[in-house]
């Protein structure tokens, strides 16, 4: 009986004749047109979601997704007013719905009454912001840098077709910006593919999505264990060209490449300052080799307390 109950919980079609035909297992909840993915998460007919064409952007990190401002203004996150965030939320209320970062709605936590900021003047918004109460109001603020977004591409064929990325709002873009390294995971390319984004509606949901669905946790196919992510063709060719014997960089190029490679460690304050190497050639001008760039990166990564394998692919 226990085994039969487990079977029914996972897949109701495995049930014996005595079990109610209307009973649904996890498989029935997920599959077919009426299932959770196709019915609820197709990027349409859902709240707090968006859909757009994807464009390549090697300048964002592999765990980020670039979101245009017009989408960031529509996607909102409900944040309760507390002593920690009251000043920041008041500033967002003053900005209103037309300026990013701003807010679209103020909700009363006790009554559920909502006030639309889009119909208010600047003076009215300033008055509300100055009288905002801690513990009583919920501010539906715009999507901001650092928020977690669940990103999905149809057809959702396996687990890594839906992963969590960190939002990065890009003011001058009109499409979702995407790093090349994630293409094989989603089976995506840039010939007009569209993808969906979903904004979790609580910090608990964001934390759960980041810990379970984050891009850097999806390195192998669950079915076979084959690697999904890694160096793509551009990265391999770039590494070969950079470490060739006849590749030299001037000071500004050397410094820029090293900074880009270590920017995550600097942002996380794992590195206080970057240790550089002396130039290989002094006359007629100072030049660094491509191999020195790699050596500089490895030296600073180790100084930051990490092994080379722990650093995210840039």
Return the higher-pLDDT residue of 58 and 105: 105
Give which of 121, 125, 71 is closest to 100, Cα–Cα: 71
Q: What is the pLDDT of residue 313?
A: 40
Residue 308 clears pLDDT 80, i.e. is over it:
no
Mean pLDDT for 297-301 is 89
Query: What is the rounded end-to-end Cα distance, in angstroms, of the chain?
Result: 52
Q: How many CB atoms sit inside 10 A of residue 163's CB?
A: 24
Specify the CATH number for 76-142; select among 3.30.565.10, 3.40.50.1000, 2.60.40.10, 3.30.1490.180.
Answer: 3.30.1490.180
Q: What is the pLDDT of residue 198?
A: 93
Q: What is the pLDDT of residue 11?
A: 83
Residue 21 clears pLDDT 70, i.e. is over it:
no
User: Whole-angstrom Cα distance, residue 63 to residue 148?
Assistant: 10
Contact 228, 218 (CB under 8 A): yes
The pLDDT tens digits of the residues spanning 41-57 come to: 665 577 888 999 999 98
Interhelix angle 233-242/290-303, nearest 10 degrees: 110
Return the higher-pLDDT residue of 265 and 186: 186
Q: What is the CATH number of domain 233-310?
A: 1.10.274.100
Residue 307 clears pLDDT 70, i.e. is over it:
no
Q: Helix/strand/coil (H, E, C) string of 195-260?
A: EEEECCCCHHHHHHHHHHHEHHHCCECCCCCCECCCCCHHHHHHHHHHCCCCCEECHHHHHHHHHH
Residue 183 clears pLDDT 90, i.e. is over it:
no
Residue 193 clears pLDDT 70, i.e. is over it:
yes
CA dist 166 to 67, 129, 162, 233, 280, Å? 10, 28, 13, 24, 39
User: Whole-angstrom Cα distance, residue 258 to residue 83?
Assistant: 40
Beta bridge partners of residue 100, listed in sequence order: none
Q: What is the pLDDT of residue 29?
A: 85
Specify the CATH number for 42-69+146-217; select among 3.40.50.10330, 2.40.40.20, 3.40.640.10, 3.30.1520.10.
Answer: 2.40.40.20
The pLDDT tens digits of the residues spanning 198-246 come to: 999 999 999 999 999 999 888 888 888 888 887 778 888 988 999 999 9
User: Whole-angstrom Cα distance, residue 53 to residue 190?
Assistant: 8
The pLDDT tens digits of the residues spanning 107-142 come to: 988 888 888 988 888 899 899 888 888 888 899 999
Give which of 56, 36, 47, 37 is closest to 198, Cα–Cα: 47
Stated pTM of the model: 0.74
Please report, rounded to a whole number, the percentage of residues in the chain having pLDDT higher than 70. Answer: 94
Compute and round to an integer the Cα radius of gyration of the chain: 25
Q: What is the pLDDT of residue 314?
A: 37
Token pair 């500089």 in the structure block, residue: 296
Interhelix angle 290-303/251-267, nearest 10 degrees: 20
* Domain range list for the chain: 42-69+146-217, 76-142, 233-310
Mean pLDDT for 29-35 is 81
What 8-state DSSP symbol labels residue 37? I
Q: What is the pLDDT of residue 227?
A: 85
Residue 288 clears pLDDT 90, i.e. is over it:
yes
Interhelix angle 86-95/122-130, nearest 10 degrees: 170
The number of CA neighbours under 13 Å toward the Cβ of 267 is: 8
Confidence of residue 4 (pLDDT cuts 50, 70, 90): confident
How high is the mean pLDDT of the chain?
86
The pLDDT tens digits of the residues spanning 59-112 come to: 888 889 999 999 999 999 999 999 898 999 999 999 988 998 999 999 988 888
């Amino acid at each position: 009986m226990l085994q039969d109950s487990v079977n029914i919980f996972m897949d109701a079609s495995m049930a014996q004749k005595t079990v109610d035909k209307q009973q649904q297992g996890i498989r029935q909840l997920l599959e077919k047109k009426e299932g959770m993915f196709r019915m609820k998460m197709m990027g349409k007919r859902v709240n707090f979601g968006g859909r757009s064409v994807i464009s390549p952007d090697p300048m964002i990190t592999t765990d980020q997704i670039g979101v245009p401002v017009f989408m960031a203004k529509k996607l909102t996150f409900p944040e309760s007013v507390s002593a920690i965030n009251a000043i920041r939320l008041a500033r967002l209320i003053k900005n209103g719905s037309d300026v990013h970062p701003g807010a679209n709605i103020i909700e009363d936590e006790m009554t559920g009454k909502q006030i639309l900021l889009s119909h208010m003047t600047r003076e009215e918004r300033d008055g509300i912001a100055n009288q905002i109460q801690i513990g009583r109001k919920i501010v539906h603020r715009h999507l901001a840098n650092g928020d977690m977004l669940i990103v999905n591409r149809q057809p959702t064929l396996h687990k890594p077709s839906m992963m969590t990325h960190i939002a990065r709002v890009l003011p001058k873009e009109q499409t979702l910006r995407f790093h090349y390294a994630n293409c094989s995971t989603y089976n995506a390319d840039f010939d007009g593919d569209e993808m969906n984004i979903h904004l979790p509606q609580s910090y608990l949901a964001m934390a759960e999505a980041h810990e379970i669905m984050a891009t850097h946790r999806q390195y192998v196919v669950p079915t076979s264990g084959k690697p999904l992510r890694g160096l793509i063709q551009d990265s391999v060719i770039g590494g070969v060209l950079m470490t060739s014997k006849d590749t030299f960089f001037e000071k500004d190029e050397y410094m820029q490449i090293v900074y880009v490679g270590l920017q995550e460690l600097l942002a996380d304050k794992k590195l206080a300052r970057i240790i550089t190497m002396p130039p290989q050639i002094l006359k007629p001008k100072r030049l660094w080799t491509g191999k020195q760039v790699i050596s500089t990166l490895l030296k600073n990564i180790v100084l930051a307390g990490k092994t080379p394998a722990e650093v995210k692919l840039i």
